[in-house]
Structure 1
């Protein structure tokens, strides 16, 4: 797999919001939960196997993404994970969870409830994320 090519499942299930030199930022197409995914630009499948410099940059981006999700959505809990059982490409989920959400306290994976995003909301989230993540990220238009 080319390090810059998204796994087909990630491409099918998400909106590409932004890109940095180290990763791409995705939004899961399920408006029931604020669910972002950071995909490092690598062919490595595990976070600890990244080159130390790339690992540091990706962890910094993950921290900035988590801080954005906390500020913007004020969740009861943040779920941050690199599961990858169905999608082997390294990707980091940052999900805002609420005690009132549709699958609390269970994991979000495999929950049948979903609601597609409308284009204006995707654009709003892209703008908010870019403003919050700051330097290094550029928009990736095209929904």
Structure 2
């Protein structure tokens, strides 16, 4: 099943993995390891999700948070549901370090942008796939991400 993705998320993110329940995306800005979870729902607000949907999204958030913490330098994880431009339900998980260009401020709307080379995207995706194998997490389909134009 393919989740219809908002055009802004489609433009700004690499699609790393997909299941029937959600998409795992990587924002195309190598200054921050910034992943986005898009659950398969038409709801736009967290409180409108059923208890089961909220539980699944929390589980997804915990998985991606653990993946980031185990595989990348990170002093703090920022997790947020911010959707003023993109109404589609999505959850941001951002690895922050004390040396990133926005520390200790917020990353929303930053001018610090640099696209990923495709080999780095593939490396992150490979680590994610290995993490799933190690954790015996199944049901995700990993496809080769499409190359994005420069920011």
User: For this structure pair, what is the TM-score category when the shorter chain's length is used for normalisation?
Assistant: over 0.9
Q: Which structure 2 residue ranges, 5 or more long, are not aligned?
A: 147-151
Residue 52 of structure 1: how far off its partner (Å): 2.4
Take 1:132 and 1:58, find their aligned partners in 2: how far apart are those partners?
Answer: 18
Question: What's the counterpart of residue 38 of structure 1?
Answer: 37
1:73-95 CA-to-partner distances (Å, cap 9, x unmatched) read 13110000001111111110010
* Partner SS, residue 127 of structure 1: helix
Please report how far the alpha carbon of residue 15 of structure 1 lies from its aligned counterpart in structure 2 after TM superposition. Answer: 0.4
Q: Indicate conservation of the 8 Å contact 1:22/1:54, yes or no.
A: no
Moved over 3 A (4+): none
SS across alignment from 2:94 = strand
Task: Name the structure 2 match of 1:26.
Answer: 25
User: Shift of residue 17 of structure 1?
Assistant: 0.5
Rounded to whole Å, the distance in 2 between the matches of 1:96 and 1:20 is 23
Question: Cα distance, 1:51 vs. partner?
Answer: 2.4
1:137 equivalent in alignment to 2:140 = yes
Give the match for residue 103 of structure 1.
102
What do the CA deviations read for 1:89-130 (whole angstroms, capped 9, x no partner)? 111001000111011111111111111111111111111112
| Matched residue, 2:92 | 93
Question: TM-score, normalised to structure 1's length?
Answer: 0.92
TM-score, scaled to structure 2: 0.88
Q: Which residue of 1 aligns with 2:118?
A: 119
When structure 1 is superposed on structure 2, of 46-55 and 105-114 the one drifting more is 46-55
Name the stretch that deviates more: 57-66 or 124-133. 124-133
Give the length in aligned residue pairs. Answer: 141
Uncovered stretches (5+) of structure 1, i.e. residues with no partner: none
| CA–CA distance in structure 2, aligned partners of residues 94 and 77 of structure 1 | 10
Identify the range of structure 1 (77-86 vs 46-55) with the bigger mean alpha-carbon deviation: 46-55
